[in-house]
Amino acid sequence: MKRRNFIKKASVTGLGLVAVSSAFTSCDETSEKKEASVAMSKPIRPLVIATWDTPLAVETAAKILQNGGSALDAVEQGCRIEEANEKGQSVGKGGLPDRDGDVTLDACIMNDKGDYGAVLGVKNIMHVISVARKVMEDTPHVMLVAEGAEQFAVSKGFKRENLLTEASKKAWEAWKVKAEYKPIINIENHDTIGMLAIDENGNISGACTTSGLAYKMAGRVGDSPIIGGGLFVDNEIGGASATGLGEEVLKTVGSFLIVELMRQGKSPQEACEIAIGRIVNKPGKDFKNFQVGYIALNKQGDTGAYSIHEWFNYTLFQDGENKNIKSDYFNKI
């Protein structure tokens, strides 16, 4: 087989570079060596990476990919798991409300063609990631906001429901006693889910869903539903997603920046580190009280993650295994 054809075939079947290089040294190898090189040929996909400790969401996405499903279906279905998880207080049902006690959700999705759909500030609908997908696929637009988005969701068969759980209501009532308005994200307590996946055809999609900053001003929207902020995917290059204080992510267009850095040859890890650097190295920036974390993957199946502070972690499904991994971080003082 000619080298060019082999590489093409290897990329179609999902074999990593290890497989490609070992196959080309195999001409003079003994059969034992050949076997060893086959064992080393780990498939780079399916691959799923998601922010925080989200094993069930990632497992759900991985199963879809293992059954030959698309990256787009995988990230949508994976995010739905967290939206339905009432214990997660930064996503979907059970998300912490805004300062008026209303749970408002933001979400966006991107497919491998570079299409994008988003909903912002939506009340009463749990699976906003699926509404975002409908915006992308069934409208000529990319974003719908608040009541318009809710009406659209209902017209597509989504049911209205109360998203404020007893636990989140209690937390809001406790917050109201002092009602301190600090648009600072608690460094440890968040679970916005950003998810990226590569399917068996090598195509990449991404999704991001959140209830945003707890006790935010009514109408406040963060990075999660904004293209290039909370999420960006370019199927030729890779994808990135963010969690943490959305204002800081947006001011540096973080996810877009990471994908563009990868386009220029940076690894996903290097790109995430540079993007965090853009935030913390701003003159006079006091990053002590807020957290931002990024995840990224490239077309070759390399992944990266980096945050400002310790405690950011992510879940990775690769080589048939689901792992929660502690991210490296900037602030080690």
Q: Kindly state whether residue 210 participates in binding ligand SD4, applying the rule CB under 6 A.
A: yes
Q: How many residues bind ligand SD4 (CB under 6 A)?
A: 14
Rounded CA-CA distance 69/62 in Å is 9
Q: Whole-number minimum distance, CB 102 to ligand SD4, in Å?
A: 15
**Which lies closer to ligand SD4 via its Cβ, residue 238 or residue 246?**
246
On the 0-12 / 13-18 / 19+ scale of CB atoms within 10 A, 302 is middle
Sole window of 14-22, 187-195, 196-204, 311-319 interacting with ligand SD4 (rule: CB under 6 A): 187-195
**Which lies closer to ligand SD4 via its Cβ, residue 85 or residue 192?**
192
Question: What are the φ and ψ backbone dihedral angles of 225, each rounded to 5 degrees?
Answer: -95, 5
Q: Kindly state whether residue 315 participates in binding ligand SD4, applying the rule CB under 6 A.
A: no
Rounded CA-CA distance 196/96 in Å is 25
Q: Kindly state whether residue 97 participates in binding ligand SD4, applying the rule CB under 6 A.
A: no
Question: What are the φ and ψ backbone dihedral angles of 301, each rounded to 5 degrees?
Answer: 90, 15
Q: Kindly state whether residue 191 participates in binding ligand SD4, applying the rule CB under 6 A.
A: yes
192 is catalytic: yes
User: Which residue in the set 117, 121, 206, 222 belongs to the binding site for ligand SD4 (CB under 6 A)?
Assistant: 222
From start to end of 116-237, where are the E strands? 116-122, 143-145, 193-198, 204-210, 231-234
Sole window of 123-131, 221-229, 265-273, 305-313 interacting with ligand SD4 (rule: CB under 6 A): 221-229
**Which lies closer to ligand SD4 via its Cβ, residue 14 or residue 88?**
88
**What residues contact residue 28 under an 8 Å CB cut-off, 6+ apart?**
none
Q: Kindly state whether residue 104 participates in binding ligand SD4, applying the rule CB under 6 A.
A: no
Q: Whole-number minimum distance, CB 253 to ligand SD4, in Å?
A: 14
Q: Kindly state whether residue 94 participates in binding ligand SD4, applying the rule CB under 6 A.
A: no
Sole window of 19-27, 121-129, 167-175, 244-252 interacting with ligand SD4 (rule: CB under 6 A): 244-252
Q: Kindly state whether residue 223 participates in binding ligand SD4, applying the rule CB under 6 A.
A: yes
Angle at 72 between CA 70 and CA 73, to 5 degrees: 70
- Coil, strand or helix at 13: helix
DSSP structural state of residue 216: P
On the 0-12 / 13-18 / 19+ scale of CB atoms within 10 A, 5 is exposed
Q: Kindly state whether residue 213 participates in binding ligand SD4, applying the rule CB under 6 A.
A: yes
**Which lies closer to ligand SD4 via its Cβ, residue 51 or residue 111?**
51
Q: Kindly state whether residue 243 participates in binding ligand SD4, applying the rule CB under 6 A.
A: yes
**What residues contact residue 92 under an 8 Å CB cut-off, 6+ apart?**
82, 83, 84, 85, 105, 126, 127, 128, 163, 209, 211
- Coil, strand or helix at 180: coil
Q: Kindly state whether residue 190 participates in binding ligand SD4, applying the rule CB under 6 A.
A: yes
**Which lies closer to ligand SD4 via its Cβ, residue 111 or residue 307?**
307
- Of the candidates 192, 243, 252, 315, the residue annotated as catalytic is 192
Q: Which of 247, 226, 218, 243 is nearest to 103 (CA)?
A: 218
Residues annotated as catalytic (active site), given as ranges: 192
Q: Which residues bind ligand SD4 (CB under 6 A)?
A: 90, 190-192, 210, 212-213, 222-224, 243-246
